[in-house]
């Protein structure tokens, strides 16, 4: 959790119930969770019809990265390998 040192302490962090996130509140961060085991993926806490607690944004990011990561990495490597050598010995 090296990234927490770059976040201001007055933010709310939304996660699943994985134990690695337990120290967030002791470090001064607000922390809300959803329980995937219970079939909960989003929660409307104040009844306004908007789910304030969810982790879909990061899960979508990682799933897209995993699906498209190989193609992006391949394209990047092809681009780098097509460049002429910069230094000759």
Structural domain boundaries in the chain:
2-79
**What is the separation of C-alpha 18 from the centre of its chain, rounded to a whole number of angstroms?**
13
| Across 58-75, average pLDDT | 69
Phi then psi for residue 43, to 5 deg, are: -140, 130
Give the predicted TM-score (pTM) of the model: 0.51
**CA 51/CA 27 separation, integer angstroms:** 25
How many CA within 13 A on the CB side of residue 54?
11
Q: Please check the confidence at residue 4 and state whether its pLDDT lies above 70.
A: no
Q: What is the pLDDT of residues 5-63, one digit of tens each?
A: 667 777 888 888 888 888 888 888 888 888 888 888 778 888 888 777 777 666 666 66
User: 12-16 and 42-43 as β-strands: parallel, antiparallel, unpaired?
Assistant: unpaired
Write the pLDDT tens digit of every residue in 74-88: 777 777 777 766 665
């Amino acid at each position: 959790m090296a990234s927490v040192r770059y976040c201001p302490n007055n933010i709310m962090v939304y996660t699943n119930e994985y134990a690695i996130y337990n120290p967030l509140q002791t470090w001064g961060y607000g922390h809300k969770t959803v329980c995937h085991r219970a079939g909960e993926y989003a929660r409307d806490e104040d009844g306004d019809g908007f789910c304030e607690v969810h982790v879909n944004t990061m899960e979508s990011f990682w799933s897209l990265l995993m699906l498209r990561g190989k193609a992006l990495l391949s394209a990047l490597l092809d681009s780098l390998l097509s460049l002429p050598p910069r230094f000759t010995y």
